[in-house]
Structure 1
Amino acid sequence: MSLATQDLLTLLPAILRIRDLARAQLTPGILNADDQATLIELQTLVANGDPLTPTEQNTLAQLQQRAQAGPLMSLVGVIAEQIAALQENVEQLYDDQFVETCADWVVPYIGDLIGYQVLHGVTPAIASPRAEVAHTIAYRRRKGTAVALEQIARDVTGWNATAVEYFQRLIVTQYMNHLRAQCLATPDLRQWQPLERLGGAFDTIMRTPEMRRIESGRGRYNIPNIGMFVWSIDAYALRASPAVSVDARRYRFHPLGIDQPLYTRPAPRDDFAGLSTPLDVPEPISRRVLDAARNSYYPLSVCLYESSAAGVTAVDGDNVCICNLQDVAGNWAHLPTSNGVYAVDPVLGRIASRPDLPAGTQLLVDFLYGFSAELGGGEYDRTADVTDAEPPPALVRVPADYASVQTAIDNLGANGGVVVIGNSGRYEETLTINVPAGKRIVVRADNGFRPTLVLTGASSLGGGAGAQIGLHGLLITGATLAVNAGAGNALAQLDIAHCTLVPGLSLAPDCTPQHPGDPSLVVGIAGVAVTLSCSIAGPQRIDVNSTLSAADSIIDATAPTAVAYAGEDGTGPGAPLQLQQCTVIGKVHAQTLPLVSNSILLADLATGDTWAAAIVADRLQEGCIRFSYLPSSVRVPRRYQCLPESASTPAAGMPRFTTLRYGFPAYAQLATTSGADLLTGADNECQPGAFNFVYGAQRETNLQVRLAEYLRISLEAGVIYAS
């Protein structure tokens, strides 16, 4: 039954409606919200003397006629409104019985009915408990199965994961009526696949039992043990990136010209019909695997293109051979000799081109590299941090409008603007940005791309009074960015976000920094507010009368004894330094440290060092250091809950890094062997440093909670980091 005012009024005797209509007057309140808005709009036009179209005049007359109401109709309208509210409440009570349609406040109560335990909402799948509460029943129908455990692990950690039942990988005396052909006490050395996966999540070679507990991370192969492998290093793509030429025949995949392993592009797991395979996780691709399963990896994870004046053509997989292109006597081994054939080495990230490659043809590549998080330059989604959300004075695109970045900057005009680089290309040029007074220039990568700027000389940044410069989503190598004094330079602000300023300026093929200790950024004038966010950078040299604020970033001097932060001369005090969730590798000398929070400062004094301490603040009465790791040799303001002094033991507060060499997949990643107090030493009970935003400790805690809930009785599970 309809509860509209007009419908309820028709239920009354006609004589009452006639009498009520005789006393009717214009009452817009009995119209619905849309009709009320239309009536007010048309009445406003009439009041302002604006002419109405015939259609508008007809609509106004109809609305005025429908809005005529007497006392009885107004009363019925109030009753109808309350009945509608009651009906809506009843319908909502019915909807609240189902987790898909219930109100937000009801979700915890439904979860409590089924015993749902709240987790840290650090991944999209569990940021709101509604979806996980809805999935709980489906999970419990498959409780104890390896596939269900894998799906739960992926949901609650946000990492790629797989489950291993170790009782199926034990050497046992077999019952003759139930033989397991795969359970061989001695591995078949003719089968290369099991040997290729040795020691990992997909290792199928049988073992004898071991008695150490898997929960401690030491034992694996035993009847009650379940191994939950997680990949904290993910695979990040680069598309249509120019391969770096060594000579006419030899190329490297990585735009920095380094040897870096290629990674598998994980297949999306929408339905969990079975356990993950090596194609479902971000693992480095071996030569043997790529050669044997080329169609599974090429062109999905690896692809080559030939770019010429005629266009871009993909290289057919049949014309690509997989081999070892290691260094041999000043050259690479196994260069192809047949026309039309390319050689690819996925372990070293190298390419040997076909002998008949036409002159002027550029080689483009699609590939994936490994890293711990969306930090520094990358093709990941950065739309939330784009600084030119409002229409800029001018927006030019590279290479659509101009072929080079510098040409695009020069053509922005007197009002500044934005230069958007719309590919993951490689641009070799010297960058000079001079911003008009009071204006702003932003150079950024378009979302989904990561261009490489190879600076062929020291680049100059400057501008008039109140000028601002922004750099966003770029990989910058080759030389220093400098804000030089003189020529009226009065730049006010420099914002660097989601960028990589290569530590050491450039890298050798083995990732050795070519200019260790050389600064990535030099600010030689006063009054510049420098911000560094979600970025990786080399040493900073900032004038004492400017400021630097860094968040979720790495500042790497390439060695703890090198200078990561100081004044322009490299020894005197630098500008006031603020660090939040940062990792600093190298010595620091700042005028003040207003705030250092949730950070790791790894520094040391070299033999014969003239510095008084590895971390020095000239003004000790200002600032605070909180929830951070600092070395023992420091002169800093007051500290609160800092490591290692607040740790239960010195060893429990010590950091250990997987590697500190930029270019390696696990760069600046804290090893699991770091002190237990350090791994949860930040104020959010996660690890301090640049990867604090990953919430690794909370992810592992989520997994431990769910494993305890969904494991079958008598089974034990251990979390094993595959990367």
Structure 2
Amino acid sequence: MSAQAEGGRAMSARADRLFDLLPVVYRMRDAEQGYALRDFLRVLSSQVEVIEQDIARLYGNAFIETCDDWVVPYIGDLLGYTLLPEAATLGADGGRDGGLGRVLAPRADVANTIDARRRKGTLSLLEDLSRDAAGWPARAVEFYRRLGWMQHLDHLHPRRGGTADLRDPGRLQRLGWANGAFDPFAHSVDLRRLGSAHRRGRHNIPAVGVFACRLRSYPVSCTPAYCIEERGPHCFSFSVLGNDTPLFQRPVAETEPTHIADERNLPLPQRRWRFAERGVLADYASVAAELYGDGRSVQLWAPDWPAKGQGVPVPREALIPADLSGWGGQVKRGRVAVDPERGRLLFPANQRPKRGVWVSYQYGFAADLGGGEYARVTPELEGATRYVVHATRPDRAANASWPAGHFGSVAEALAAWAAAKAATPALHALIIELAESGVYEGSLDLQLDAGEAIQLRAAERTRPVLRLLDVRASQPDALSVSGHAGSRVLLDGLLIVGRGVEVHGPAEEDDAPTGDLCELVIRHCTLVPGWALQCDCDPKRPGEPSVTFDRTRAALRVSHSILGAIMVISPEQRGEPPPLELCDSILDATGMERVALGAPDEAVAYVKASFRRCTVIGAVQAHGIVLAEDSIFASPLRVLRRQQGCVRFCYVADGSRTPRRFHCQPDLALAAVVPEQRAHERLRVVPQVRSRRYGTPHYLRLADGCCAEIRRGASDRSAMGVWHDLYEPQREANLAARLTEYVPAGTDAGILFAT
């Protein structure tokens, strides 16, 4: 029996539990009269279920480990836990946003309040506060230990900082590494306060710094490396897109609560000096054992390299840490040069891997956005048929046989689905699950029948790459989608490279049109802006869109995704504009002067757009805006229909034409100064980002020097843009309050950022 049928029987038995308590004679009489009493008791049973659940929650809410999010501040209040002033704006259900409530009253920090009070004044406690109160792994440093002072000969401190040894490049590299969190040298006294709001100092007797890591380390498991063919068939990049990417390390958990975090305990980029295991002659002999291997930061597979039957995986002794910034140098036979700071591989020119290279590594990013190997909630299609597609792996034969329901390519799964529909016309929903974090190549053409739904999704904690190849010289090779009335296409957890997605409407020559695709849903996906990347993360095709709507009225709904420009070609029979919704996403046209949302043959795209917590690079030209909220429009936003819609708590670039605005920037900043200062104020209130190139760890993250009007300008005092839900201003304020409470009297504690 299917799981769905078993679940239905269980629910039915639960609904009839009051009816089953009746004597048999009454149940028999009720059966004779059409089960009127049973139906009435089912209604009572549903209300009994509600009361039982509420009673169970009352018991669970008595404990910090099991209580609801809205109860955490109340338990903290019983312990004297000091909340931020913003907590007063939270509603009875935990706040306007559940994520904000969890930041203002962190469950782990409230749970450890009594333990923290017992450890008050200890250095390791500050690292735990950073992790519990702000969610940032950190390293705490007492700066008085780094002051240069004359030591007494009877009380030497050999571990204290000393003068720089120019013959030790490893220690010199740590001088500015991670913002100086691991600086090993002595410094002169700096009298400026560490907690100053103006010019901050560091090296003073009362100064204690908490170096917080805001970037996270994300894994990529056994995915093909990219061959840089323009440099040579022996040159590879860790990134499947071919761009340089710094390799991060997989943090190692600390075993003792009193331990001060080392470099291995934090999600930091790897350094060549630490990546290497020093040989007897002080050369780069091989890779460090703690960073390479199964379950560690890096691992390589090169089947049948250097000899047949070897290379799965490549042994650690065969790797050489190197600087491959210019792809220069010679590599000995049987060895592989690895550059962890650029994410490059170099094999011997006369000993190339013939069957390809696979890599596992860690990369740095700010949050769960786009395609990645992180936990995400993927809604299931009801009553759907599920097919599983596998990628090529180094330990799997290319001609492997698959059991029923498993396939070697997406095209084979679609062909099987077409045959199944022909045999059983009642089938209406299909789930194609990509099982591994590999590369799935080919060109796809999805043509849906009326009422049909197809979900192309990644398996749990995988990052499959859908590479759309240019195989047809005279025709486009995009992921083509078309459908009839009530049909839907859903993309979940994918990274799409090589081409974009094209949605086609019904052909004009159809005499009896059967409708159009209902909607395209994109969740937790990355449609690489510019289709592909150069080594320096510049887009290869910057003018090409990621999504094209060609004479269709289908709706587009995007959430937690990264995509390039959107082009809309309107049908002749227009009607009401179709909806286009973006939430917690990045719309990147790869240039401020390009068009992020528009039409190639009209002045504006004929859509009703909605932006919530988005960052848009490029001009937006839309027929109408229903709502724009907590977003950044770095280029002009031009709307044709201004009578409807609202733009609130957004940054809107100069030269925009929008519906009514509410608490937008730079409007508020300009209104607060005299006319003579508005030119300077307009230049000051501009979003400043760390990087504008997709593929870099700090992609479109607001710089620390960005103005407060942007960094705290959202509706809940968080940052505008796609990184709104990180709540970094609230996390920083919460951690600062905890530090003030738990450091010894007279100590000047401050927050510094390692990443």
Same topology, TM > 0.5: yes
Deviation at 1:245, TM superposition (A): 1.8
User: Cα deviations across residues 271-302 of structure 1 (Å, max 9, x unaligned)?
Assistant: 52311111111111121110136111112000
> Which residue is equivalent to 2:387?
395
User: Cα deviations across residues 622-644 of structure 1 (Å, max 9, x unaligned)?
Assistant: 11000000112111111000011
Largest Rg, 1 or 2: 1
> Matches of 1:636 and 1:346 in 2, distance apart?
46
**Secondary structure at the counterpart of residue 532 of structure 2:** coil
- What amino acid sits opposite 2:82 in the alignment? Q
> Which residue is equivalent to 1:404?
409
> Which residue is equivalent to 2:744?
712
Deviation at 1:159, TM superposition (A): 1.8
**Aligned with 2:247 (options 259, 262, 266):** 262
User: Cα deviations across residues 526-580 of structure 1 (Å, max 9, x unaligned)?
Assistant: 3211011100010111245332100000000111111111124374334121100
**Secondary structure at the counterpart of residue 385 of structure 2:** coil
**Aligned with 2:699 (options 667, 677, 700):** 667
Alignment of 1:263-662 (within 5 A): 263-269=248-254, 271-292=256-277, 294-299=288-293, 300-307=296-303, 313-327=312-326, 332-339=327-334, 341-353=335-347, 360-382=354-376, 384=377, 386-388=378-380, 390-399=382-391, 401-413=406-418, 414=421, 415-456=428-469, 457-487=477-507, 490-543=516-569, 545-569=577-601, 571-603=603-635, 614-647=636-669, 650=681, 653-662=685-694
On the 8 A contact 1:452/1:475 being kept in 2, the answer is: yes
Which range moved further: 510-519 or 565-574? 565-574
On the 8 A contact 1:416/1:436 being kept in 2, the answer is: no
**Secondary structure at the counterpart of residue 698 of structure 2:** coil
User: Cα deviations across residues 226-284 of structure 1 (Å, max 9, x unaligned)?
Assistant: 11111111111100111112344221110101111111111234652311111111111
Identity over the aligned pairs, expressed in percent? 35
> Matches of 2:726 and 2:645 in 1, distance apart?
27
Q: 1:432 to 1:113 in 2, by over 3 A?
A: closer
Alignment of 1:179-194 (within 5 A): 179-194=156-171
- What amino acid sits opposite 2:449 in the alignment? P
User: Cα deviations across residues 497-531 of structure 1 (Å, max 9, x unaligned)?
Assistant: 11111111111111111111321111012321101
**Secondary structure at the counterpart of residue 651 of structure 2:** coil
Alignment of 1:158-173 (within 5 A): 158-173=135-150
Consecutive unaligned residues in structure 2, runs of 5 or more:
1-15, 33-54, 88-97, 278-286, 392-401, 422-427, 470-476, 571-576, 674-680
Q: 1:208 to 1:353 in 2, by over 3 A?
A: same
> Matches of 1:407 and 1:390 in 2, distance apart?
23
**Secondary structure at the counterpart of residue 238 of structure 1:** strand
- What amino acid sits opposite 1:205 in the alignment? F
> Which residue is equivalent to 1:243?
225
Coordinate RMSD, CA, aligned: 3.2
- What amino acid sits opposite 1:266 in the alignment? P
> Matches of 2:588 and 2:63 in 1, distance apart?
52
Q: 1:35 to 1:661 in 2, by over 3 A?
A: closer
Deviation at 1:462, TM superposition (A): 0.7
Q: 1:575 to 1:130 in 2, by over 3 A?
A: closer
> Which residue is equivalent to 1:8?
none
> Matches of 1:484 and 1:36 in 2, distance apart?
54
- What amino acid sits opposite 1:435 in the alignment? L
User: Cα deviations across residues 286-331 of structure 1 (Å, max 9, x unaligned)?
Assistant: 211101361111120000113479798222111211112232xxxx
> Matches of 1:125 and 1:505 in 2, distance apart?
37
Which range moved further: 280-289 or 38-47? 38-47
On the 8 A contact 2:100/2:727 being kept in 1, the answer is: no
**Aligned with 2:182 (options 202, 205, 220):** 202
> Matches of 2:68 and 2:555 in 1, distance apart?
46
> Matches of 1:225 and 1:110 in 2, distance apart?
33
> Matches of 1:499 and 1:263 in 2, distance apart?
22
- What amino acid sits opposite 1:706 in the alignment? R
> Matches of 1:220 and 1:575 in 2, distance apart?
53
Q: 1:527 to 1:122 in 2, by over 3 A?
A: closer
> Matches of 2:202 and 2:593 in 1, distance apart?
40
User: Cα deviations across residues 36-82 of structure 1 (Å, max 9, x unaligned)?
Assistant: 886548677766899xxxxxxxxxxxxxxxxxxxxxxxxxxxxxxxx
> Matches of 2:264 and 2:551 in 1, distance apart?
52
Query: How many equivalent residue pairs?
Result: 634
- What amino acid sits opposite 2:186 in the alignment? M
User: Cα deviations across residues 373-426 of structure 1 (Å, max 9, x unaligned)?
Assistant: 1101101011x2x13253413434334622222322232233340110011111
Deviation at 1:130, TM superposition (A): 6.0
- What amino acid sits opposite 2:135 in the alignment? G
User: Cα deviations across residues 154-207 of structure 1 (Å, max 9, x unaligned)?
Assistant: 111112211111111111233343222234552223333321211221112111
On the 8 A contact 1:161/1:228 being kept in 2, the answer is: yes
> Which residue is equivalent to 1:211?
191
Consecutive unaligned residues in structure 1, runs of 5 or more:
1-33, 51-87, 604-613
On the 8 A contact 1:377/1:499 being kept in 2, the answer is: yes
> Which residue is equivalent to 1:13?
none
> Which residue is equivalent to 2:113?
136
On the 8 A contact 2:530/2:564 being kept in 1, the answer is: yes
> Matches of 2:62 and 2:725 in 1, distance apart?
36
> Matches of 1:40 and 1:706 in 2, distance apart?
59
> Which residue is equivalent to 2:44?
none
- What amino acid sits opposite 2:339 in the alignment? D
When normalised by structure 2's length, the TM-score is: 0.78
Deviation at 1:115, TM superposition (A): 2.4
**Secondary structure at the counterpart of residue 482 of structure 1:** strand
Which range moved further: 701-710 or 454-463? 454-463
Which range moved further: 201-210 or 409-418? 409-418
**Secondary structure at the counterpart of residue 261 of structure 2:** coil
When normalised by structure 1's length, the TM-score is: 0.81
